[in-house]
């Protein structure tokens, strides 16, 4: 048992940071909220209805980026984004190149991802946040491998998404300096069983 008696609500404009020591269940909670795992007790609701009965709505309303970059090494950044977007919301060639430019990958659009640094690979994954994306973003350690400029840019982008009515749930060991009005933090260390 990682935690129990945990109740969370998230609305438009909210950002929820899940913190806690390693092994406290941060990633497990994100996976529960994203519908990738089922709770052993209790339930996760989306718009007041059980999450497990709303798979199509969840896929349409959620963008998940896990701790790993989740990209294919042999594909280029453009090919990776094309493939990932085709699963839910296809994007044009121009939109993909603009997203890659927004994360500082101008000039790297068509090189195999295995030749990129860890930080550049993370930026390929994060470029999905700059495409036509769902309102809810669930991000597991999104700042991993980013330099100072990348961290500041991502913080600004996450806050701006919330200020436009989007929602963000994230885990990070990074101390955020830019937080939207609807920001709150929950420390799973205090909920540990």
Domain count, the chain: 1
In a domain, 46, yes or no: no
Domain enclosing residue 176, as ranges: 14-35+51-190
Question: 56-93, pLDDT tens digit by residue?
Answer: 878 788 999 998 889 999 999 999 999 988 877 889 99
148's tokens = 């100072």
C-beta separation of 105 from 148 below 8 A: no
Residue reference for tokens 């963008």: 63
Assigned domain for 42 exists: no
* Residues 5-55: tens digit of each pLDDT: 888 899 999 999 999 888 888 999 999 999 899 888 888 888 888 888 887
What is the rounded distance in angstroms from the CA atom of residue 148 to the CA atom of residue 151? 5
Domain assignment present for residue 6? The answer is: no
CA distance 45 to 147: 36
Alpha-carbon distance 5 to 191, whole Å? Answer: 8
Tell me whether residue 7 is in a domain: no
pTM exceeds 0.75: yes
CATH number of the domain enclosing 64: 3.40.50.300
- Is position 40 within any domain? no
- Residue 157, domain member (yes or no): yes
């Amino acid at each position: 048992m990682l935690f129990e008696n945990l109740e969370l609500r998230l609305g438009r404009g909210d950002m929820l940071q899940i913190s806690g020591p390693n092994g406290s269940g941060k990633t497990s909670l994100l996976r529960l909220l994203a519908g990738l795992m089922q709770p052993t007790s209790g339930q996760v609701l989306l718009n007041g209805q059980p999450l497990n009965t709303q798979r199509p709505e969840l896929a349409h309303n959620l963008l998940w980026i896990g701790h790993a970059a989740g990209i294919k090494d042999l594909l280029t950044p453009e090919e990776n984004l094309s493939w990932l977007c085709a699963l839910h919301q296809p994007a044009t060639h121009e939109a993909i190149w603009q997203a890659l430019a927004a994360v500082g990958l101008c000039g790297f659009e068509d090189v195999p991802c295995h030749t990129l640094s860890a930080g550049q690979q993370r930026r390929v994954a994060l470029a999905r946040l700059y495409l036509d994306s769902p309102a809810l973003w669930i991000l597991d350690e999104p700042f991993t491998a980013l330099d100072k400029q990348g961290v500041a840019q991502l913080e600004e982008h996450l806050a701006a998404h919330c200020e436009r009515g989007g929602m963000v749930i994230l885990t990070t060991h990074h101390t955020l300096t830019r937080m939207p009005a609807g920001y709150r933090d929950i420390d799973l260390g205090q909920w540990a069983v």
